[in-house]
Amino acid sequence: MASSEEVTLNGLATKIAELADTLTKTLKENNVPLCTFDVDSPVSYDSPSPDIYMQRQTLIQTCMDLIYLAQGPRESIFNYAHSAMPDAACLNVLNYFNFWDAVPLDGTASYADIAKHTNLPEEVVKRFVRHASTLRIFEETEPGRSASRVKHSFRSAPLARSKGLRALLTTTLELSGGPLMALHFALERYSQGKPALPKNIDETAFALLYSGGQFGKFKNTWEMLENDGEGEKKGWRQREFTVFMDFLKEIFGLEGVVLNAYDWSALGKAKVVDIGGSAGHDAFTLAKKFSDLELVVQDLPQVAPVFEQNLPSDLASRVSFMAHDMFQPQPVEADVYLLKLILHDWPDEEAVKLLRAQIPALKPGARVIFIEYVGAEEDSEDANQLPRIVRGMGSATDLRVMALFNNRERPVSAWKEIFKAADERFDVTSVKSNAVAFYAVVEAVWRG
Ligand SMILES: C[S@@+](CC[C@H](N)C(=O)[O-])C[C@H]1O[C@@H](n2cnc3c(N)ncnc32)[C@H](O)[C@@H]1O
């Protein structure tokens, strides 16, 4: 980007036109269907190309700059402060009460229909839908008129079609929203005047909000996922979370990361334990591709019924589920232990405990493999070359894991340190990561 004196409304608008032109050409050359404002628009730019991803991010960032400049600094802050929370609360309410299924994809619904479906007062429904429609989420057939009906828009329709996208909102907005807004209280109480965040998971913004009784009595997020709800509803959060994890794999193209994390075929007949493996989606991927592997998925008890429901019958002889608390001594002797997206949910103290809990089962030569989010390395040139909004995706996750777990998005060096802190006999033999991919694969061999 040119120096700030040269950045003008016209300069940015010209740049946007050029970037949009280049992107459109690249998409067409690569046969990637273009998104539209139509209700049947493709839900995303379906391409694994890092080039297309970066072109889109640069365009989006330049559009954001144009908006900031058109608003001016004061209005840009005012507008953000004014709308950010109502926008997020609105999306959260629509998702929590499932407004998505209240409106047919190929027709319209009245406000009374939506009120009936959601069991909310019609007047309240109308206020949320009207705000949402300003964000292109739903559309009124006659905007502002009491007789107006509601139809899906290009942003609401994917939510009616995808359980995964809905589960993503449940985790990122509903579960994390309260703790994120309570972060200032947690920092004031536990961190102000101290050199660092508390090193344990009990003194988080999450715990401040959800452990006191008013909104539940849960020490940490996982306890809430397992225990919230009564009767048939018990475990609903955990069930929703398994859908979210499966969906994350789809949107980040993680299937390839799992398949390439290790030379699985070189293992021959071998046993793999997927620690905190959710309802088995990664184990199924590995078992389908590598017929010599036997996999044990370990997770919390509420995950078991979802696993049983999802287990393909042709894999039933090789993939099994074991309810097991990963902080307790590992009971299964295996060749590889996979920890995918586990330790970023735990501060160092617990991460080290978790690794040590595996030691009783480790035979010499056994491997432990992390597949993890990777944060920016301090003073790294790589990270600064990424567009601001790409860095923002990483730093937003970083603040979310602070609110929920008192953790941070660890850079690669810290992932290696975790092994070392757990036991010197873990020998880190391979680290694969790059600044654009949000993931690193770190492999250690047990030299015990
Ligand atoms: C972020 S998810 C990762 C799931 C899966 N590895 C994946 O990548 O899709 C973390 C998982 O850890 C599980 N978990 C949390 N605490 C646990 C515990 N004490 N013992 C076993 N599993 C636990 C959760 O239920 C959840 O499935």
**Whose C-alpha lies nearest to ligand 1, atom 9?**
245
pLDDT value of position 5: 54
Q: Copy the structure tokens of residue 272.
A: 């793999």
Q: In the predicted model, what is the mean pLDDT of residues 4-11?
A: 82
Return phi, psi of residue 435, to 5°: -65, -30
- The finding on whether 280 has its CB within 6 A of some atom of ligand 1 is no
Q: In the predicted model, what is the mean pLDDT of residues 51-69?
A: 96
Q: What is the pLDDT of residues 247-261, one digit of tens each?
A: 998 888 889 999 999
Q: What percent of the chain has pLDDT over 70?
A: 97
pLDDT value of position 380: 73
pLDDT value of position 434: 64
pLDDT value of position 377: 73
- The finding on whether 369 has its CB within 6 A of some atom of ligand 1 is no
- The finding on whether 118 has its CB within 6 A of some atom of ligand 1 is no
d(CA 212, CA 189): 15
Distance (angstroms) between ligand 1 centre and the Cα of 313 equals 24
Q: What is the pLDDT of residues 351-374, one digit of tens each?
A: 999 999 999 999 999 999 999 988
| Diameter of the chain measured on Cα atoms | 73
**Whose C-alpha lies nearest to ligand 1, atom 15?**
222
193 has a pLDDT exceeding 80: yes
d(CA 90, CA 92): 5
pLDDT value of position 387: 87
pLDDT value of position 213: 84
- Please list, in sequence order, all residues whose beta carbon lies within 8 angstroms of the beta carbon of residue 136, skipping any fewer than 6 positions away: 37, 153, 154, 155
Give the helix, strand, coil percentages of the chain, each rounded to 5.
Answer: 55, 10, 35
Mean pLDDT of the chain: 94
**Whose C-alpha lies nearest to ligand 1, atom 13?**
276
First vs last C-alpha separation in the chain: 52
Q: How confident is the model at residue 379 (pLDDT cuts 50, 70, 90)?
A: confident
pLDDT value of position 52: 95
Distance (angstroms) between ligand 1 centre and the Cα of 435 equals 25
d(CA 139, CA 112): 16
Torsion angle in degrees (nearest 10) through CA of 164, 168, 169, 174? 130
Distance (angstroms) between ligand 1 centre and the Cα of 267 equals 25
2 has a pLDDT exceeding 60: no
Q: How confident is the model at residue 3 (pLDDT cuts 50, 70, 90)?
A: low
- The finding on whether 222 has its CB within 6 A of some atom of ligand 1 is yes
**Whose C-alpha lies nearest to ligand 1, atom 12?**
276
Topology of the domain comprising 240-446: Rossmann fold (3.40.50)
Determine the 3-state secondary structure of 28 from DSSP.
Answer: helix
- The finding on whether 326 has its CB within 6 A of some atom of ligand 1 is yes
Do the beta carbons of residue 19 and residue 59 sit within 8 Å?
yes
- The finding on whether 417 has its CB within 6 A of some atom of ligand 1 is no
Do the beta carbons of residue 41 and residue 60 sit within 8 Å?
no
Determine the 3-state secondary structure of 432 from DSSP.
Answer: strand
pLDDT value of position 373: 85
Distance (angstroms) between ligand 1 centre and the Cα of 39 equals 35
Among 175, 218, 341, name the best residue to mutate to test ligand 1's pocket (greatest count of ligand atoms within 8 A of Cβ): 341
Domain ranges in the chain are: 4-71, 74-161, 240-446
* Domain 74-161, CATH class in plain words: mainly alpha
Q: What is the pLDDT of residues 162-178, one digit of tens each?
A: 999 999 999 999 999 99
